[in-house]
Amino acid sequence: MRNGYKGAVLALAAGTALGLGVALGAAQNTAQAANLKIGMITTLSGGGSSLGIDVRDGFQLALNEAGAGDVELLVEDDARKPDIAKQIATKFIQRDKVDILTGIIWSNLAMAVVPAAVKDGVFYISPNAGPSALAGKGCNPNYFNVAWQNDNLHEAMGGYVQDNGYKKPFILAPNYPAGKDALTGFKRYYTGALAGEIYTKLGQSDYAAEIAQIREADPDSIFFFLPGGMGIAFMKQYAQSGLDVPVFGPAFSFDQGILGAVGEAALGVKNTSQWSKDLDNAANKAFVAAFQKEYGRLPSLYASQGYDAANLILAAWKKAGGIGDKDAFRKALEEADFASVRGAFKFASNHHPIQDIYVREVVKEGDVLTNKIVGVGLKQHANAYVGDCKM
């Protein structure tokens, strides 16, 4: 029995260590005091990590360029899990006392974090996810989206398909809220007849059955929203099917980070985006060059969004003379007085962008697949939910 208490002593030691950890965390916390503290929750591990890494790198690049030594950026990985994102947000807010949260890629993670965070009086600046729930009834004075409202790119494609005289598009998206929003957004601006409409399983990787249905329906064009690996799989399988119908989609499946994996199958595809690396403005040229120099790869859509998010925050921070006066800071954010890499940029009354949405085409430059702008889908476009937002 003498030896019997060893375990208890060990457990006691573990308990004490836990308490000590709390105390240490607390001490560490009071030691550093930056003027502006930003917490970034983003996806850095597992599938889909390239998006989070691009947002982080774009954001960090803007901070480096501004030489903002009094801005502290904390970054943590959410592993694409809502409850982990929520836990990190709680930690950032309660322990690290951040002023601003940012970084979330996925709508379902944003829905887990944003409503509670803004209720706690923290600002949330979204560099990507823009679910309709946060644009309409659930909008909040402390929530800003620098990228787009989720429907935007699909709406622009709908308009483009309609204007270019297509009469019988076939549309498909995964069976989840963003997929339904995508097809609804497309149909908001494309009002003609459809050859067919399919919802696929989320995360599906084999589209043979859907491609056969498309063949059977004999459409004159195809519009799809299949983010991540789903889009890559669809395009590769479509290219092998012997079908030759023009394909349209939002930029997510045709952006820089993913084009390499889609391969030649993507050549010639028209896609909509609020940004492109060949946009002709000084801020964008400097950004593309600096990003390539710093990271040795071409920037993606997500990198541009991270970069813009950081510059928006820095501009507002400078203008309001800090973040102490939250009303002044909010007002400065609303004015959005910064050089966006997309050119003209302002916020609608529900804190989502009013911006041009371009139509790009996938082309080959040397050995590299990339996009070039071929037209404008929607000019100075806001979103469908402005009227629902009361704040």
Q: Does 177 bind other proteins (CB under 8 A)?
A: yes
Contacts of other proteins in 5-24 (CB under 8 A): 5, 7-8, 10-12, 14-15, 18-19, 21-23
Both tokens of residue 386?
């402005």
Q: Does 35 bind other proteins (CB under 8 A)?
A: no
- 266, amino acid identity: A
Q: Does 200 bind other proteins (CB under 8 A)?
A: yes
User: Which of residues 119 and 372 has its CB atom nearest to other proteins in the complex?
Assistant: 119
CB 213 within 8 A of CB 197: no
Interacting span for other proteins (CB under 8 A) from 82-90, 287-295, 312-320, 328-336: 82-90
Q: Does 40 bind other proteins (CB under 8 A)?
A: no
* Minimum distance from residue 78 beta carbon to other proteins (Å): 9
The phi-psi region of residue 165 (left if phi > 0; otherwise alpha if psi is between -120 and 50; otherwise beta) is left
Q: Does 26 bind other proteins (CB under 8 A)?
A: yes
What is the C-alpha separation between 142 and 158, in angstroms, rounded? Answer: 31
Q: Does 383 bind other proteins (CB under 8 A)?
A: no
CB burial of residue 220 (10 Å; 0-12, 13-18, 19+): middle
* Minimum distance from residue 257 beta carbon to other proteins (Å): 6
**How far is residue 216 from each of residues 219, 239, 244, 349, measured CA to CA in Å?**
9, 16, 13, 45
Task: Report the run of H or E that residue 373 belongs to, with start and end.
Answer: strand 368-381
Full 3-state SS string of 5-60: HHHHHHHHHHHHHHHHHHHHHHHHHHHCCCCEEEEEEECCCCCCHHHHHHHHHHHH
* Minimum distance from residue 187 beta carbon to other proteins (Å): 9
Binds other proteins (CB under 8 A): choice among 168, 188, 215, 326: 215
CB 42 within 8 A of CB 55: yes
What's the Rg (C-alpha) of the chain?
Answer: 23
* Minimum distance from residue 338 beta carbon to other proteins (Å): 29
Binds other proteins (CB under 8 A): choice among 127, 136, 159, 228: 228
* Minimum distance from residue 335 beta carbon to other proteins (Å): 29
CB 178 within 8 A of CB 131: yes
Dihedral sign computed on CA atoms, order 192, 196, 199, 203 = negative
Q: Does 116 bind other proteins (CB under 8 A)?
A: yes
* Minimum distance from residue 202 beta carbon to other proteins (Å): 6
Binds other proteins (CB under 8 A): choice among 35, 241, 281, 349: 241
* Minimum distance from residue 205 beta carbon to other proteins (Å): 4
The phi-psi region of residue 174 (left if phi > 0; otherwise alpha if psi is between -120 and 50; otherwise beta) is beta
Interacting span for other proteins (CB under 8 A) from 60-68, 72-80, 285-293, 324-332: 72-80
Nearest of 49, 123, 26 to residue 351 by alpha carbon:
123
Binds other proteins (CB under 8 A): choice among 236, 285, 318, 319: 236
Contacts of other proteins in 119-158 (CB under 8 A): 119, 131, 133
Contacts of other proteins in 281-300 (CB under 8 A): none
* Minimum distance from residue 282 beta carbon to other proteins (Å): 29
* Minimum distance from residue 279 beta carbon to other proteins (Å): 23
Tokens 């966006």 found at? 340
Interacting span for other proteins (CB under 8 A) from 2-10, 279-287, 329-337, 373-381: 2-10
